[in-house]
Each structure stands twice: as C-alpha cells, then as structure tokens.
Amino acid sequence: MLSLGLINEYMKKISNWALEGESIVKDFHFRDFKQSMSFVNRIAELSERQEHHPGIVIDFNRVKISLTTHEEKGLTSKDFEVAQEIDKIA
C-alpha cells in the first residue's frame, strides 16, 4: 500500500481522477449507451491482461471507474498504471 505522499505524487500523473477513501475514481461520459459499453469492454480486456480489475458502474452514457488493490487494502502503483491505460482507451 502506498503512503499518502506517494499517492499525491501519482495523482499528479493522472488527469481528472479523484481520491475517494482507499480508491481512485473517474467518471467518463459518452455519446450513448453503445459507446459506454464499447469502452467497458475495452477496459475488460485491459483488466484481464493486467490481472487488475476495477469497479465499474454504467449509467447509460456515463461510466464510473474505481480502482484499488483489494489484496493490499489500499492503493498501489498498479492502480495508477491501470488508470493511465484506461485514460488511453478513452
């Protein structure tokens, strides 16, 4: 698990993600439901490759992603790496 100082450093490297408790979260907005689902499916492929799975909430054209490392009970560098990859997909 990362210290608060390291978390703050990693937060500078990702855009528009927010720290919520032991997770980092971001809302993504799309034109319609079909685009939302396409985005989620690409995240699923990434997550399987990285063996690191986010929380995902889909609400029509909005997708909320939440990342934390459950085994560590907090944030690790893996969460920030996956966040950067998710941003590339979007």
- Whole-number Å distance between alpha carbons of 90 and 87: 5
Domains in the chain, please, with CATH?
4-89 (3.30.1360.20)
Predicted local confidence at residue 70, as pLDDT: 93
The 10 Å Cβ neighbour count of residue 74 is 16
Predicted local confidence at residue 78, as pLDDT: 97
pLDDT digits (tens, 9 = 90+) for 19-53: 999 999 999 999 999 999 999 999 999 999 999 99
- Whole-number Å distance between alpha carbons of 54 and 84: 13
Q: Which two tokens stand for residue 56?
A: 């995902």
Place of tokens 């690790």: 76
Active site residues: 48, 52-53, 70-71, 79
Predicted local confidence at residue 82, as pLDDT: 98
pTM to 2 decimal places: 0.94
pLDDT digits (tens, 9 = 90+) for 49-64: 999 999 999 999 999 9
